[in-house]
Each structure stands twice: as C-alpha cells, then as structure tokens.
Structure 1
Amino acid sequence: MSRHTPQVEQIADGVKRVIAPNPSPMTGEGTNSYIVGESRCAIIDPGVDDTAHLDALVAAAPGEIVAILVTHAHPDHTGGAHRLAERLAVPIHAYPLELQGIRDKEFSAHRPLYHGDVIALDEIRLEAIHTPGHAADHLCFFWREAGLLFAGDTVMADVTVVILPPDGDMSAYMQSLEQLQALPIARIAPGHGRLLEDAPAVLAHIVDHRREREAQVLDALTADEPVTPEQIALRLYPDLDVRLQPMAAAQVEAHLIRLVELGEALQSGTGWLKTTA
C-alpha cells in the first residue's frame, strides 16, 4: 500500500493540481496531474501508478470524470493512465504517435487527439496544441477563455526542458515555442513545478535562453578538431550532478543537430565541426 499522502491544490477556478509521488533530479517534486472542470471533468497527465495518488485525483474531482488527457507518452506522465481509465471506464486521449526513445511501452490511447481538436467540458473547452520538441507526440492543452495553458513538458517551472534525440528535436521545439507565443496565453500550468504567471515573459525567456545556449555550443566548435557532445557538455555544465551528465550531452547533441540543419556545423565521426562557410 502506498505511504504517499497527496496534497490537492486549487490553482485556478475550475483547476486542481495533485503532484505525483515521483520526485527526482529530472521530475523535481514530481509530475503535476491536473483536474479540470466542474460538472464534467478531465484528468490531464495521471502521473505514476500510485494508489493514493489516483485515489486523490478521483476524490478531488467536483463532477464526473469523462476523459483522461495525456500530454506525451513518457512514463512519469502516463504510468497511472490505464489503471485510472479502467477504474472509471473513461477513454484516454493522446496524440497517436509511438515514440522511438524513452517512452511508456505499455501505454496506448483509446482515442487520438490532433492539433486543433477540442475536449468540451461543459463551459470549459480544452484545445489540443501539437507542440513537438521535448517529444514528437507532445500536446499542450489550451483553455483559451481563461488564457491558461497546460504545457506538459514543453514548459517547466524554473528548469530547462530536456530535448533528447531521437524523439526530442530542438528545431521543432523552437517552432513550438513560437507557436505558443502567438497564442493569447496569460498563465502556464507546467508538467513540473509551480503555476507560471506572465506567460509571454516566460516564453520569451525560454527562447532567449535556447538561443544563448545554441551560440555557446557553436562557440565550442572549431573547423579542424572534432569535439564530442560529452566534451561540450562538461565545458558548459562543469558543476552538473554526475547523474545528469548523459542527459546534458544528449541536450548538446540536440543543439548540434539543429546547427547542422542551419548549415553552421557538420558531424565528423563521433565528433562535430564548425563549418568553414
């Protein structure tokens, strides 16, 4: 039996949050699960398969739970989805794409969700926004009338979103951020961490940070001596927790792949070079 004692927090009118019991260097305090709606409710990202956590989600819903929405098929977001769906006899909605890298191999959706599809919860309408980058199947859910974006792992509070190839794509991520910047988003409910106010400033900061990191990765390259992502990561993150060093190298690789697409770098064996053009 789980020893976890979930805490239910009302973060906005019609929205409650319960943090899943999976704290780690990658997930922070844990994955945010959201209960959205009043008479008809949806659960966004059920999180891990933990009895107390799933019980708390069901108990906190003010009305009938009619749908489970998944932002992307990483295990910390989907682990409890099937158990909750079976318990409530409700469908799981997600973008219909099987990831190639890190993924919940047991997860599958009952109903596909595509960009622009809408989940109607009486007066609340959640618009699916396809936002690849962190993962190729990633969806955000936008409550336009409230200006509230449920961002999954496209935006995280106070930490940098990890982009890991092959499913993570830095160019796609930058395009997704630009797409979000064009929407009337006021606040962001991320997949990990606190509610973020002033969404335009948050998104602008993320874009600026990514561009700055891209410039640093390019600056670490030379035209004559190949450099590996691991070497660049040690230069850029000298004090990083050793457990996160492989992730940092993969993040650098995502930037390098983008620099190749931009014509500013090329791969040479296991290393990378700056183009001479």
Structure 2
Amino acid sequence: MTDASATFTTEPPLVHDKPQVISPLVRRITAANPSHMTGPGTNTYLVGNDEVLVIDPGPEDDVHTKAILKAAKGRIRWIMCTHTHPDHSPGVPALKAETGAEVMAWSNRGGLRTDRRLSDGDQLVTDEFTMTAVHTPGHAGNHLCFFLEDERMLFSGDHIMQGSTVVITPPDGDMGAYLESLAKVRALNLKAIAPAHGHVITDPNAVIDWYVTHRLEREAQLHGLLIEMGSARIAQLVEAAYVPLDPVLIPMAKRSVHAHLRKLADEGKVEGNGARGVWSVV
C-alpha cells in the first residue's frame, strides 16, 4: 500500500484519451468531450496497479472506452460512479461488457444499473488501497465522492472542480445540502482533490474555503438585491448580480440563483414561485 506521504506528479496539460500518471496509485484519462459545462472534458480515474478500479467511465464514447481498456491491461475489477449525469456514467455498460467489473454507485438512475449500491462510509478494500464512499448531495442527490485513504486523495466528481464553481440545479440540486457536503469533505484532512473536470487540486482546504465563501457571498448579494428591488424574477436577479456574463452561461447562472433562493426560502428569508415566478423578501 502507498501511504499518506505519497507525492503527486507535476501536472502536465490535459490530453484527451491518453493515460497520465498523477500519483503512485492513480492514472487519469480525460474524455474528448470539452464544453462550457465539462471544461476540458470528463476525467476518468484508474486506481490501483495489480487490480484496477475505474472511477467515472465518462460519456458513451468508443474511443474513450478503448483508451481505458488499453491503459488497464485487463486488470479492471471494479467501476464506481460519482453520479449519473450524462458525462459521467453512460460509459459504464460498454466497460462492464468488456470486463465483467462490479459496478458501484449510490443508486440505479439515468440508465445506470449497479451491482452494489453504496452508502455513506462503505469501503472497497484491496491489497493495494482502501476507497471510502462519501455521500455528498448538493450537485445531485445521488452524488458520491470517493476517498482514497492511502493517499488522502478525494475523487470529487462534480462536487468540487478545478478552476470553476459547480452548477446546482434544483430540485435535485440543493444549495443547503451542497454547503453541508463541502464541510463534510473538508473535515477529511485531504492532501489532494482529483476532480472530474480539470487538474488535481493540491491545496484542498483553501479551495473548499473559497467555494464556501463564494456561495455565501452570492447568497448575501441576492438577498440584498431582493431587499432593494422589493420583488424580482430570477432573470432580473441574474442580470443584476452577474456583471458581465457570457450569454452562454446565463442558463447556468439562473439555475444557481434558483438554488440560492430555495435555500433562503427554507430558512424563512424569502418566498417565491419556482424558476419562472416572482421572488420577494419575507
């Protein structure tokens, strides 16, 4: 087993469908699905050398699946999915068909069929490593992170991403749960975060603290705007709060504003009528 003193390699540029070593136990293969939602593409991780665990096989993409199989050299035994969004789990069936690997996730959803449904704290223990499931609802209700105990590395899926914030889309996305989940993973004494999009994060606590600060500042801003405006629709709040904003990002901003408003409503501070209705201060 590799201990917590393991060092992480200097990050090379992300390259599509080519394995990159990021630690003694971990390789990354980035799918060729870049977009404003996925950044440079979805990262698939291969954990272990003698027997391999695949985390997030990514989209349904023959080239990507073949890259995973080639890198693993017939040693894939397990597949874990952080959640069931279309850039993370659709690659599972092809990979399972080729390997017979055991599929593990929080739930059967979005076309994913598991062999083992994971709960918070469940572990996969091998001769090389121990992986612990950490339930982190917020981005999605069925979202899991995976904690590699031996290297204190968190595979964060879409809970934490490098270089950007995370979209929270109600009703499955929940801002209050998201902030609680950030606090939960911060308590793990992480050495690194391996996100589903972007490079390895080697200052995890600083990044998590920034995420929390950013969300609370945005929440306070939106609450203040509603106090000033009296009442407003989400589109009006986005226009006032996000200056300037690339038009392609407006739908994502609307979703996040809706999530913030739902959290404020749960706390009794505002009231409103869904994604298209009018919101006001209580």
Both proteins in one fold, TM over 0.5? yes
Equivalent residue for 2:196, pick from 169, 175, 191: 191
For residues 239 and 255 of structure 1, the distance between their equivalents in structure 2, rounded to whole angstroms, comes to: 20
Q: Show the counterpart of 1:274.
A: 281
Equivalent residue number for residue 26 of structure 1: 37
Q: What residue identity is the alignment partner of 2:161?
A: M
1:249 to 232, 251, 254: 254
AA matched with 1:206: Y
Aligned length: 266
- 1:128–1:45: structure 2 CA closer, same or farther, 3 Å change rule? same
- 1:202 CA displacement: 1.2
Decide whether the 8 Å contact of 1:223 with 1:273 is kept in 2.
no
Aligned to 1:158: 163
Q: Distance in 2 between matches of 1:163 and 1:181?
A: 19
Cα distance change, pair 188–75 in 1 and its aligned pair in 2 (3 A) = same
Q: How far apart, in 2, do the equivalents of 1:197 and 1:63 lie? A: 31
Shift of 1:56: 1.2
Aligned equivalent of 2:71: 60
Q: Which amino acid aligns with 1:263?
A: G
- TM-score normalised by length of structure 1: 0.91
User: Which of residues 212, 215, 224 in structure 2 aligns to 1:207?
Assistant: 212
User: CA distance change for structure 1 residues 30 and 268 in 2, over 3 Å: closer, same or farther?
Assistant: closer
- For 2:263, the equivalent position in structure 1 comes to 258
Q: How does 1:108-119 map to 2 (within 5 A)?
A: 108-119=113-124
Deviation at 1:182, TM superposition (A): 1.1
Give the Cα–Cα distance (whole angstroms) in 2 for the partners of residues 216 and 222 of structure 1: 10
Aligned to 2:3: none
Q: Which amino acid aligns with 1:109?
A: T
* Structure 2: gaps spanning 5 or more residues: 1-14
The answer (yes or no) to whether the contact 1:97–1:137 under 8 Å persists in 2 is no
CA separation of 1:268 and 1:77: change in aligned 2, threshold 3 A: closer
Query: How far apart are 1:241 and its partner, in Å?
Result: 2.5
Q: Establish whether residue 171 from structure 1 lines up as the match of residue 176 from structure 2.
A: yes
Question: Equivalent residue of 2:172, what SS?
Answer: coil
Mapped contact 1:144–1:185 kept (Cα < 8 A) = no
For residues 273 and 41 of structure 2, what CA distance do their matches in structure 1 show?
39
Q: TM-score, normalised by structure 2?
A: 0.90
Task: Give 1:224 deviation, angstroms.
Answer: 7.3
Mean alpha-carbon deviation: is it higher for 156-165 or for 229-238? 229-238
2:24 corresponds, among 13, 18, 29, to 13
Would the aligned equivalents of 1:41 and 1:121 in 2 still touch at CA under 8 Å? Answer: no
- Distance in 2 (CA, whole Å) between partners of 1:95 and 1:268 is 31
Contact kept? 1:35, 1:61, Cα under 8 Å: yes
Distance 1:124 1:106 in 2: 29
The Cα of 1:244 is off from its aligned counterpart by 2.2
Asked if the contact 1:38–1:62 (Cα under 8 Å) also holds between the matched residues in 2, the reply is no
Match in the other structure for 1:88: 99
Equivalent residue letter for 1:183: L
Aligned residues: percent identity? 41
Partner of 2:132: 127
Partner of 1:47: 58
Tell me which amino acid in the other structure corresponds to 2:62.
Answer: T
| SS of aligned partner of 1:75 | coil
Unaligned 5+ residue runs, structure 1?
A: 99-104
